[in-house]
């Protein structure tokens, strides 16, 4: 199995985003082997492509041979003169050896003991080992990052419904935005999603954009007390404490958590939408609400008109019936009075 397939399987099986450090611990040997194979393949390609071709019909440079012979003759004459020079230099070397004898001051100087030398050598070896370990870890991470970039590009260009995204400092399988409606309908049929009240969403938004922020600052922005909302957000692990602010009273600071990034599918807080994007989204929702209101109002008007027409027809029928009854009573002869 290739290293790319192993990385793909681990990212798919993980419930939480897998970090590059975790992958480096798992696939150190595989990454180094992959790098060695790639380097060997690159060297083989260089030797096959860029090796100079030699032919048997190369011309011989006779001028260079003549120069080489003249140089060899000069070297032989120089070697013949060397014994005389050595004889002249010998007395001077003897005098320098006498001057180089150690004095009493040098003999009394402190020398490093064997233990000091051993400690220095151990420290040097330990530093070298640490340096090699850091270098090896850096190489492994570079190899894994290169393969992950290839996987991300393949998933993005391929006609698939899933992709590999960098979320909360790690890598995770996720559905593509084009499949949002289908996945949302399926998830709704399985289990209810996490629901937050409007005050909780407002408080979470203030913390996300102003973090680290204190509870009094959030209350001032919202204009109401948010102490109860903080408890629910802390219980759901969407926010966490981030120390205390260095002011009078030292209030607690709050920030968003990794769970917040995972719930909202964000790589980091910088991916939060800006105010301009919020304005565009609000304008789109307002237009959709207006169109929905118009379409829903038309059937109601039609129903009202049909009801009015029915009422008018019923009234007309009742009037006609009453007129017919009146005509019948006028046409009927009057009964004679009873005889006594």
Over the stretch 142-165, which tens digit does the pLDDT of each residue have?
999 999 999 999 998 878 889 998
Q: Are residues 151 and 285 in the same domain?
A: no
Q: Are residues 295 and 187 in the same domain?
A: no
pTM for the full predicted model: 0.48
Angle at CA of residue 186, ends 182 and 189, nearest 5°: 145
**pLDDT the model gives residue 94:** 47
**pLDDT the model gives residue 56:** 42
Give the highest mean pLDDT range of 7-16, 55-64, 84-93: 7-16
Q: Are residues 131 and 17 in the same domain?
A: yes
The 3-class SS string of 155-223 reads HHHCCCCEEEEEECCEEEEEECHHHHHHHHHHHHHHCCCCCCCHHHHHHHHHHHHHCCEEHHHHHHHHC
Within-domain flag for 76? no
In the predicted model, is pLDDT for residue 54 greater than 70?
no
Within-domain flag for 82? no
Of 222, 256, 272, the position where a domain reaches its end is: 272
Give 208's pLDDT tier (boundaries 50, 70, 90).
very high
Mean confidence (pLDDT) of the chain: 75
Within-domain flag for 219? yes
Within-domain flag for 334? no
Within-domain flag for 92? no
Of 193, 210, 228, the position where a domain reaches its end is: 193
**pLDDT the model gives residue 287:** 84
Q: Are residues 25 and 133 in the same domain?
A: yes
* CATH label of the domain that carries residue 209: 1.10.10.10
Q: Are residues 184 and 201 in the same domain?
A: no
- The answer to whether 192 and 178 are in contact (CB under 8 A) is no
Cα distances from 67 to residues 64, 70, 76, 77, 78, in angstroms, run 5, 5, 15, 16, 17
Q: Are residues 175 and 268 in the same domain?
A: no
**Total domain count, the chain:** 3
In the predicted model, is pLDDT for residue 210 greater than 50?
yes
Q: Are residues 143 and 283 in the same domain?
A: no
Q: Are residues 303 and 216 in the same domain?
A: no
- pLDDT tens for residues 33-44? 998 988 888 888
Give 141's pLDDT tier (boundaries 50, 70, 90).
very high
Of 252, 272, 292, the position where a domain reaches its end is: 272
In the predicted model, is pLDDT for residue 76 greater than 90?
no
Within-domain flag for 56? no
pLDDT, average across residues 102-107: 50
Find the domain containing 259 and state its range: 196-272
- pLDDT tens for residues 7-38? 989 999 988 899 999 999 999 999 999 989 88
- pLDDT tens for residues 239-292? 999 999 999 889 999 999 998 998 888 888 888 888 788 788 878 888 888 877
Q: Are residues 139 and 42 in the same domain?
A: yes
Within-domain flag for 18? yes
Q: Are residues 188 and 200 in the same domain?
A: no
Give 197's pLDDT tier (boundaries 50, 70, 90).
confident
Q: Are residues 253 and 295 in the same domain?
A: no
Within-domain flag for 244? yes
Q: Are residues 130 and 159 in the same domain?
A: yes
- The answer to whether 49 and 204 are in contact (CB under 8 A) is no
Give 171's pLDDT tier (boundaries 50, 70, 90).
very high
Give 337's pLDDT tier (boundaries 50, 70, 90).
low
Q: Using a pLDDT cut of 90, give the percent of the chain over it.
A: 22
**pLDDT the model gives residue 256:** 94
**pLDDT the model gives residue 42:** 87
């Amino acid at each position: 199995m290739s290293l790319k397939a192993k990385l793909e399987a681990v990212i798919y099986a993980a419930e939480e985003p897998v970090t590059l450090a975790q992958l480096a611990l798992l696939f150190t040997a595989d990454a180094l082997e992959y790098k060695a194979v790639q380097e060997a393949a690159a060297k083989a390609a260089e030797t096959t492509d860029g090796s100079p071709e030699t032919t048997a019909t190369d011309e011989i440079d006779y001028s260079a041979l003549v120069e080489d012979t003249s140089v060899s003759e000069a070297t032989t004459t120089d070697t013949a003169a060397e014994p005389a020079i050595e004889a002249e230099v010998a007395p001077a070397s003897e005098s320098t050896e006498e001057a180089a004898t150690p004095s009493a001051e040098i003999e009394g100087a402190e020398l490093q003991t064997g233990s000091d030398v051993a400690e220095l050598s151990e420290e040097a070896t330990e530093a070298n080992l640490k340096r090699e370990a850091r270098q090896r870890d850096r190489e492994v991470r570079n190899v894994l990052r290169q393969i992950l970039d290839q996987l991300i590009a393949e998933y993005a260009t391929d006609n698939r419904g899933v992709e590999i995204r960098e979320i909360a400092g790690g890598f995770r399988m996720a559905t593509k935005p084009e499949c949002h409606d289908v996945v949302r309908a399926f998830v709704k049929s399985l289990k209810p999603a996490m629901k937050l009240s409007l005050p909780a969403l407002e408080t979470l938004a203030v913390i996300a954009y102003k973090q680290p922020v204190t509870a009094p600052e959030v209350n001032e922005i919202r204009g109401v007390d948010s102490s109860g909302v903080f408890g629910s957000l802390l219980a759901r692990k969407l926010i966490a404490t981030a120390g205390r602010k260095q002011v009078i009273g030292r209030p607690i600071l709050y920030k968003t958590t990794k769970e917040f990034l995972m719930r909202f599918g964000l790589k980091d807080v910088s991916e939060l939408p800006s105010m301009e994007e919020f304005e565009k989204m609000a304008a789109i929702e307002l237009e959709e609400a207006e169109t929905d209101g118009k379409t829903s109002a038309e059937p109601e008007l039609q129903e009202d008109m049909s009801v009015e027409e029915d009422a008018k027809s019923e009234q007309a029928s009742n009037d006609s019936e009453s007129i017919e009854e009146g005509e019948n009573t006028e046409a009927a002869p009057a009964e004679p009075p009873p005889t006594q």
